[in-house]
Structure 1
Amino acid sequence: MYRDILQSTAHRKSLLPEGSWIMTQKWNDLLFIHLPVPSNIISELLPKGLELDTFDGKAWITIIPFRVTSMRIRNLPPLPFINSYLELNVRTYVKRRGKTGVYFFSLDANNLLAVIGARILSLPYYFAQMRMKKKRKIEFKSRRKGKTSACLDVSYRTSDEAFYTDESSLDYWLLERYHLWSYRNDSLYQGDIHHKQWKVSNVEVYISQQQILSYFPDDTIIGNPLFHYASTKRVLFWPIKKVE
């Protein structure tokens, strides 16, 4: 299985990372909520060393709720207590020294051990109360623990056959990202991942509450959202390293 994933690279814009992958996860029932935003607002929030990446001059933020399963370190069995949990990511699109990827504003999860471990690795994780129900549609609810009111209530249901996106499309530009950056203690960190090309479907989405972007100005969203759904994806991770 892993050899097949590693040999599938035609959809990448960059080479596979050097060295061996160290961790794997399976991502399930992913909803991508892509939101167009003003470039100047996002640029001001990026740390030194990262440049905003845009498509036709437009910047984007993406909110992604999903379920993590089958998490394990390479050559070891699934990790007890943290091999399955819910997660909610908020990211934007950036580039650095010729590489395109994503910068995480926040990552919420409902497993405290996973949050602590990720924060040790310099990722901006937060502990949240979450719930996902899957029947005719998928319902996802998240409330971050603590003083903040960051939350998301959303339901979604696929409406079409899954498809691969065209390399010149906005869909491809938003989805096929294999480098990630985070910022902590005046230092920039880079992580690298790999998986097979995304196969997504169009999806019907109803957002009843969204305050996960509460730290942005009220007029941040400047256009209609774009949605994608993916049923599952096996992902390989390389070590996170300080780059600045």
Structure 2
Amino acid sequence: MTGRRTAPGRDTAPVPPGVAPEPVTPDPPAPVRHPLLHQYWADVVFLHWRADPAAVAPLLPPRTRPDTHDGVTWVGLIHFRMRRLGFGPLPGLPWLGSFAETNVRLYSVDDEGRRGVVFRSLDADRMLPVLAARGVAALPYDWSPSTVSGRVAEGEEIAYTCTRRFPGPRGVSARTRVRTGAPLAVPGDLEHFLTARWALHTRRPLGTVRWRNDHPRWPLHHAELLELDENLVAAAGAAPPSGPPDSVLASPGLPVRFGGWRRVREHR
């Protein structure tokens, strides 16, 4: 089955009076000048479902709300291969920093009008990065033995599986198989909305923070969903999907850098 695309439209989000959301842009609004982390995301598969903003709002950190496109927000199930995760100016780690990852994410805009994503879960195939990310970055990583077969290339198939082991709930899993189609010559508004996100929002002891990132423009492909069996979305607190994804995309990947984070200020 092929992912369905919504018609392009104006990107809007409910924000406090006087604060408009920043534009959705395929390129970062500002470069990360002093990266704390660098990594490569390879063989990326994006599955997305439409969602009711009112249902998603309680799942977001304080001072953020659902970001919307044409009046709806989106829930994403994203698979990729993390390659050579590294810190600051140091080279990427070849084994410890390379693993399969699957995340469930929501789309957010904060009280300052900055768009981002909120990770409800991140399942990774290496235990040590999971422990480090939970402790240092306050991100909800889980250790989930995973497999990947194939690659993202036109006409080829790729399959991801993961099964959660720690900290749980144990047994939560996903299996996804897609066939990559032709490149998108000109990605539309929705494709940029779902993929060109320049920050993540997460809750830390001192409040909600925004953690910036940058990367080149996504090389995106159409993709055909061949198989999907998952309960990660429901385990992340979102409504279980009632049908196939509304959008299916794939990308061979790109390098990503993360800068520092800063606290989201309250709008007055």
Q: Map 1:13-28; keep pairs closer than 5 Å.
A: 14-17=29-32, 19-28=33-42
Q: Which amino acid in structure 1 is aligned with residue 217 of structure 2?
A: Q
Q: Which amino acid in structure 2 is aligned with residue 233 of structure 1?
A: L
Contact map agreement 1:150 1:214 (CA 8 A) in 2: no
TM-score by length of 1: 0.86
- Aligned partner of 1:101 in structure 2 is 116
The verdict on how the C-alpha distance between 1:49 and 1:40 changes in structure 2, with shifts beyond 3 A counting, is same
2:132 maps to 1:117: yes
Q: Which amino acid in structure 2 is aligned with residue 159 of structure 1?
A: G
Distance, in Å, in 2 between the alignment partners of 1:91 and 1:27 is 16
TM-score by length of 2: 0.79
Contact map agreement 1:62 1:91 (CA 8 A) in 2: yes
Distance, in Å, in 2 between the alignment partners of 1:126 and 1:142 is 11
Q: 1:41 aligned to 43, 55, 58, which one?
A: 55
The verdict on how the C-alpha distance between 1:60 and 1:175 changes in structure 2, with shifts beyond 3 A counting, is same
2:187 maps to 1:165: yes
Identity of aligned residues (%): 24
Q: 1:227 aligned to 248, 262, 267, which one?
A: 248
List alignment gaps of at least 5 residues for structure 1.
1-9
Give the RMSD, CA atoms, in angstroms. 2.3
> 1:19-59 CA distances to partner (integer Å, 9 max, x unpaired)?
41122111111000011011111012222110211111111
2:215 maps to 1:195: yes
2:145 maps to 1:129: yes
2:122 counterpart SS class: strand
Aligned residues between the structures:
232
- Aligned partner of 1:65 in structure 2 is 79
Q: CA deviation at 1:72?
A: 1.6
2:252 maps to 1:238: no
The verdict on how the C-alpha distance between 1:122 and 1:145 changes in structure 2, with shifts beyond 3 A counting, is same
Distance, in Å, in 1 between the alignment partners of 2:244 and 2:67 is 18
1:139 counterpart SS class: strand
The verdict on how the C-alpha distance between 1:211 and 1:124 changes in structure 2, with shifts beyond 3 A counting, is same
Distance, in Å, in 2 between the alignment partners of 1:189 and 1:195 is 20
Q: 1:144 aligned to 164, 169, 173, which one?
A: 164
Distance, in Å, in 2 between the alignment partners of 1:14 and 1:51 is 21
Q: Which amino acid in structure 2 is aligned with residue 60 of structure 1?
A: W
Q: Which amino acid in structure 2 is aligned with residue 70 of structure 1?
A: R
1:159 counterpart SS class: strand
Q: CA deviation at 1:207?
A: 3.1
Contact map agreement 1:164 1:197 (CA 8 A) in 2: no
Give 4+ residue runs of structure 1 displaced > 6 Å after superposition.
none
Contact map agreement 1:151 1:211 (CA 8 A) in 2: yes
Q: CA deviation at 1:221?
A: 4.8
List alignment gaps of at least 5 residues for structure 2.
1-24
Distance, in Å, in 2 between the alignment partners of 1:110 and 1:21 is 24
1:199 counterpart SS class: coil
